[in-house]
Amino acid sequence: MAAAEKRMNRILELIAERKRVEVAVIADELGVSQVTIRKDLNELESRGVIRREHGCAMLHSADDVEGRLAYHYEEKLRIARRAAECVSDGDVVMIESGSCCALLAAELVTTKRDLTIFTNSAFIAGYVRGKSSSRIMLLGGLYQQDSQVMVGPMLERCMSGLYVDLLFVGADGYAPGLGFSNRDYMRAQAVRDMASHAGRVIVTTESEKFAKRSTVPLDFGDRACMVVTDASVGPEVSKGLADAGIQLVTV
């Protein structure tokens, strides 16, 4: 990766962590000039990832997948590569929206052959475009512009008659005994609808999500079979997953 791209990834990490960061603070943290940082911010703003206001930078939207890809990128990439081991050549799978899911999709289309991937994420469909001959089936519905994801009753209709063995999803939060959750009601319903057409659900997310609890339960029932996350997951979470009969895989 070029130095400028690495620097912009670090900038996005800082913004994702702190929500709003001054240009001078970013320059000091990265050890480069404010002129260089402003050029990087101009590039990120032109991509629609961030916005600038009164000498500060912030993510364009908390739901923007491209902006979140750079946050804990290496951890997410390891998670994606491990999750990809659950898929074989010729499989038919579903992948929900999210940054770990996007990296998983990219890993699958470059390392597996003859896949069919159903997704409700327009971002993922574009992210893997041209990377392989795998078939990408974009499920329809109401388009949420920030997250670039399809939701709503039409999504369920698109899945009529569809059944896959594996569904990969992300999550915004988790609580032992309550399970995984999402902060957006319509996206949570979309995940539940997709899960009802899958035999097994694999959750791919960073360990920090286990310290949060979001608004809307995802309620996978007994379909949730595995969680792939980084090694910082705590013992309480490990016990909660084990009690729920969910395999925990750390990378």
Q: What's the confidence (pLDDT) of residue 146?
A: 81
Q: 71: closest CA among 113, 44, 100, 101?
A: 100
Q: Is the pLDDT of residue 1 over 60?
A: no
Mean pLDDT calculated for residue range 39-47: 86
Q: Is the pLDDT of residue 47 over 80?
A: no
pLDDT above 70 covers a percentage of the chain that reads 96
- Which residues are registered as beta bridge partners of 248? 227
Q: Is the pLDDT of residue 231 over 60?
A: yes
What rounded mean pLDDT belongs to the chain?
A: 91
Q: Is the pLDDT of residue 60 over 80?
A: no
- Do 153 and 238 lie in a common domain? yes
Distances (CA, A) of 202 to 16, 79, 82, 87, 220: 25, 11, 11, 11, 10
- Do 93 and 170 lie in a common domain? yes
Contact present, 152 and 141 (Cβ < 8 Å): yes
Q: What's the confidence (pLDDT) of residue 196?
A: 95
- Do 164 and 216 lie in a common domain? yes
- Do 120 and 173 lie in a common domain? yes
- Angle, helix 23-30 to helix 34-46, in steps of 10 degrees: 110
Tell me the HSE value of 9 on the side-chain side, using a 13 A CA sphere: 12
Q: Kindly state the DSSP code that residue 121 receives in the 8-state scheme.
A: B
Q: Is the pLDDT of residue 45 over 90?
A: no
In a domain, 125, yes or no: yes
Rg for the chain, CA atoms, rounded: 18
Nearby residues of 183 by Cβ (< 8 Å), 6 or more positions away: 172, 173, 214, 215, 216
Q: Is the pLDDT of residue 6 over 70?
A: yes
- The predicted-structure confidence for 184-222, as pLDDT tens digits, reads as follows 999 999 999 999 999 999 999 999 899 888 889 998 888
Q: What's the confidence (pLDDT) of residue 246?
A: 96
Report how many domains make up the chain.
Answer: 2
- Do 96 and 173 lie in a common domain? yes
Claim: this prediction has a pTM higher than 0.85 = no
Q: Is the pLDDT of residue 149 over 90?
A: yes
Instruction: Print the domain residue range for 20.
Output: 3-60
Q: Please tell me the distance from the alpha carbon of residue 91 to that of residue 81, in angstroms, as a whole number.
A: 16
In a domain, 217, yes or no: yes
In a domain, 85, yes or no: yes
Q: Is the dihedral of CA 101, 106, 107, 112 positive or negative?
A: positive
In a domain, 65, yes or no: no
